[in-house]
Structure 1
Amino acid sequence: MGRIRPTFIKRVAREIFKKYSKDLNKDFYKNREFLEDKVKFPNDKIENRVVGYVTTLVKRERA
């Protein structure tokens, strides 16, 4: 079984995806670099989890 993401990670990631979907791509590192200026995260762990889920959403949409 896979890991379950917390609801707040999913909620924030969906909001970011709606707002910036045309600027995001399938590369985690480019997405992280792009979102560093746009969104303020409390710490790196949460940032990485949110950006990871955003990247997953991009891959699902453009598959």
Structure 2
Amino acid sequence: MGRIKTRISKSVTKDIMDKHAGKFSSDFEKNKQAIESQADIASKKLRNVIAGYATRLKKSGKY
């Protein structure tokens, strides 16, 4: 079973993807770079969680 993501990571991811949907893809490494350029995320762990959730949303076709 996977780890449950917190509400803040989901809401931040959805906000960033609403504003910059074209900059994200289904590739995790590219999404990490896109997160760094689009948002000021303090920790590397939170950046990776957001990039992973963005990757999952792109793969599922929701964005």
Kept in 1, the 8 Å contact 2:35–2:47? The answer is: no
TM-score by length of 2: 0.86
How large is the Cα RMSD of the aligned pairs?
1.3
Q: For the residues of structure 1 that align with 2:24 and 2:2, how far apart are their CA atoms?
A: 25
TM-score by length of 1: 0.86
Q: For the residues of structure 1 that align with 2:53 and 2:13, how far apart are their CA atoms?
A: 6
Deviation at 1:35, TM superposition (A): 2.1
Gaps of 5+ in 2: none
The C-alpha deviation readout for 1:4-52, integer Å capped at 9, x for no partner, is 1101010001111111112211001011112212111011011100111
The match for 1:45 is 45
Tell me the percent identity. Answer: 32
Kept in 2, the 8 Å contact 1:10–1:53? The answer is: yes
Higher RCO (C-alpha under 8 Å, 6+ residues apart):
1
